[in-house]
Structure 1
């Protein structure tokens, strides 16, 4: 009997044996109802049987070898929907793949004893069957992972949003301690520390929200208006100085620094770069910000002398959730980075049509360069 015919005529027997094995995978597989556990297994088997006998072009065969999904959730693929539902039901990726491993083994163990002699046709059916199972597994894993990513990013967005209120309260409490006339110097110092901590945490929350927005498919909102980049740099410098009082910041500005930009977004860029520089700056050396107005663009460089960033880190430094690795790091200041600041800085810079780059060596130190084209020059 051809394998495709066997699957269609023995589908209930296959599913029953598969369910008994699936129940051994642990929670939630051993806790949900039979209907929920089986969900799309029957349709997946029917799709596999259909795939075995379908005509397959060389290109389709190559795509299967690459593991390229043929369908997505919108197409109504049973395997795609199965992956999404398994993630929503609390299954792990290991449990999902174990389901397919069991399904493959059960079908072959039930079918092969009925084959009296292995022929070329039998071998071909087995090859096509394994390709079809692997294809279904690929589609389920892809949609499972996509759904898991969306769930995580939604959680991050909600978390970042809900943290803003307690942070605002914390900042106001610290400011109140500083302003109290009868407060002792010790109380004022505590208030200043609270304010600095709140500012640092607020920057991290902002990065978290921006990251979640970009990962959930949202566009980086940009509101263009006439902006003095020098003033934006000065504000970022003041904020960074408050968060890192042990570090000296120096601003050097020259040329025409006004044009159409989103000042709030640029403040995020420069604040992230300055905070990053302060964390890795060598003691006794200032962080230098150089703003230069050129005919067609405005360039801002943030420089710090400190441990050299290895080339391997430079290649991934703007990747989200990447912690910066430096050579010979000797300072003990704790890192407050989520690994998102440089990613957000790049997103904002590119939304302005600009570029951001970094070089690092023992002589010049680490230099981040933001180049923002003027509006007229970019039109």
Structure 2
């Protein structure tokens, strides 16, 4: 068991979607009880009818198995279905490789054990895929519900503004209504752009970038304008320093900085500045977005860049606009990765919450 679990963990570490940040315990999760369940299954007598039922994927036991729990947790950890199934392929190969050298002679019993072992592995894989797919579908349905809810709010505001503009003496409110329409249009545009980026990544195409010589200060100025239009009551301070030119995709970079600023403004404590800092070093450009608000827990730090993750807010009465698609930081990380850069997060009461993006000038 120890040797099998060691090889399972090593394989899972290589295929994990979060660049090796998962602990060995999380990678192994339900592997041991799953293997014991397989061993018990091999030793349990089985009729031809029961064998046929198992081959058809029918199982009378309604209690969630270790394999089913494994599939559900792997989906929660952002594994793909291919990564999940490859774990079982590796598990099958590992067990057979360690088992067969100890077989002195191939007998009917040995063949029966191999058949039963493969049946049990297939059953475990089927259970894992079942709960993986079920949770994935539930996540997709929730995402569509949130998308509809979040788009409805700015659409209602814009519709109301349009109705007010048709009334007599509307010219007295034109400036105020114009600002509301502009702010909600930016909110909707941000959600749609994030949604398109998420869909492209999910389809396996990756985040497309088109490099050109870019002044990051100009990119940050444009992102600041969008964030300030969306959060006019938030104080956002920009601190540029050094040479900020490099080979980047200006559109993607602006989207990334905008998402970080919107996230910081949304979760920032009232009357506290949001700080955007861009520093040019010899080989890279470092962008930092800092705010003071609720400290992000260590568990949340490990999942915050995953899609469809949103942190809770303490102040439910806060009137500031909120985006709850949970895609902004995911898109920011994908953009950083596409530029061969890194994005890190630190959060404490004393230092605040700081997102740090490091981008090589050229790659």
Q: Given the alignment, which residue of 181, 190, 193 partners 1:194? A: 181
Corresponding residue SS for 2:170 = coil
The question of whether the paired residues in 1 share the 8 Å contact of 2:207 and 2:338 is answered with yes
Give the direction of change, closer, same or farther, for the CA distance of 1:336–1:205 in structure 2 (3 Å limit).
Answer: same
Q: Does 2:339 match 1:342?
A: no
Q: Does 2:287 match 1:287?
A: no
Equivalent residue, structure 1, for 2:95:
59
Distance 1:58 1:371 in 2: 40
The question of whether the paired residues in 1 share the 8 Å contact of 2:289 and 2:356 is answered with yes
Deviation of 1:259 after TM superposition, in Å, equals: 1.1
The question of whether the paired residues in 2 share the 8 Å contact of 1:177 and 1:188 is answered with no
Deviation of 1:150 after TM superposition, in Å, equals: 9.2
Q: Does 2:241 match 1:254?
A: yes
Q: Does 2:345 match 1:358?
A: yes
Deviation of 1:243 after TM superposition, in Å, equals: 0.8
Q: Does 2:278 match 1:278?
A: no
Equivalent residue, structure 2, for 1:116:
none
The question of whether the paired residues in 2 share the 8 Å contact of 1:354 and 1:370 is answered with yes
- Give the TM-score normalised by the residue count of structure 2: 0.61
Corresponding residue SS for 1:184 = helix
The question of whether the paired residues in 1 share the 8 Å contact of 2:245 and 2:361 is answered with no
Distance 2:183 2:121 in 1: 53
The residue correspondences of 1:135-284 to structure 2 (distance < 5 A) are 135-141=121-127, 183-284=170-271
Q: Does 2:326 match 1:332?
A: no
Deviations 1:189-235 (A, max 9, x none): 23422331221122122212212211221121110011110111111
Distance 1:227 1:139 in 2: 48
Corresponding residue SS for 1:269 = helix
Corresponding residue SS for 1:272 = helix
Q: Does 2:344 match 1:308?
A: no
Q: Does 2:120 match 1:134?
A: yes
The question of whether the paired residues in 2 share the 8 Å contact of 1:301 and 1:368 is answered with yes
The question of whether the paired residues in 2 share the 8 Å contact of 1:282 and 1:331 is answered with no
CA RMSD of aligned residues (A): 4.5
- Give the TM-score normalised by the residue count of structure 1: 0.59
Distance 1:183 1:123 in 2: 88
Deviation of 1:146 after TM superposition, in Å, equals: 7.4
Deviation of 1:128 after TM superposition, in Å, equals: 5.5
The question of whether the paired residues in 1 share the 8 Å contact of 2:277 and 2:288 is answered with yes
Q: Based on CA coordinates, which of the two structures has the bigger radius of gyration?
A: 1
Uncovered stretches (5+) of structure 2, i.e. residues with no partner: 1-43, 63-91, 100-106
Deviation of 1:371 after TM superposition, in Å, equals: 0.8
Equivalent residue, structure 1, for 2:73:
none
Uncovered stretches (5+) of structure 1, i.e. residues with no partner: 26-55, 64-120
Q: Greater shift after overlay, 340-349 or 145-154?
A: 145-154
Equivalent residue, structure 1, for 2:18:
none
